[in-house]
Amino acid sequence: MKSIPQIQKYMTTTPCSVTSDTTVEEAAKLMKAHGVRHLPVVVVEGQKYGVLSDRDLKYAMSLTGFDARTAKVKDICEDSAYVTKPTTLISDVSAQLAERKVGSALIVDNGHLVGIFTTTDVCRALSDICQSRFN
């Protein structure tokens, strides 16, 4: 029987990220340019991480009087991201995403952001695992 793979096998490595003081406009442009729906946010004050999702952006942009040119990411992002290590089993990370009802996990190693694992990565991993184990 094969062992359950670690998240580092399927995570997206070196994700683009922003600081909490980045403007919402800059973050939106970055997300569009890279074709991503989740953007890691490094909080300036230390080793705390957040996530800006496309849902956060859409909601903020729908508010009357919201100015993306001056608003900061820290004002609209989820400020307590699910963070785990690259050696965590994919089954554990996937279970946590489902339990927490979130779309991404930030992968941190030795205090550095090294990856992101999103629901898109879950689908790729499931496909790969099914192909390798059932074909």
CATH code for residues 7-134: 3.10.580.10
Beta carbons of 81 and 104 less than 8 angstroms apart: yes
**Identity of the amino acid at 3:** S
pLDDT 10s digits, 33-81: 999 999 999 886 556 789 999 999 999 999 999 999 999 999 999 888 9
Q: d(Cα 72, Cα 114) in Å, to the nearest integer?
A: 24
Q: How far is CA 77 from CA 20, 40, 95, 112, in A?
A: 9, 9, 23, 20
**pLDDT, tens digit, 9 for 90 and up, residues 90-123:** 999 999 999 999 999 999 999 889 999 999 999 9
Query: What value, to the nearest 5°, has the Cα angle with vertex 107 and ends 104 and 111?
Result: 140
pTM above 0.85, yes or no: yes
Return the DSSP state at 2.
P
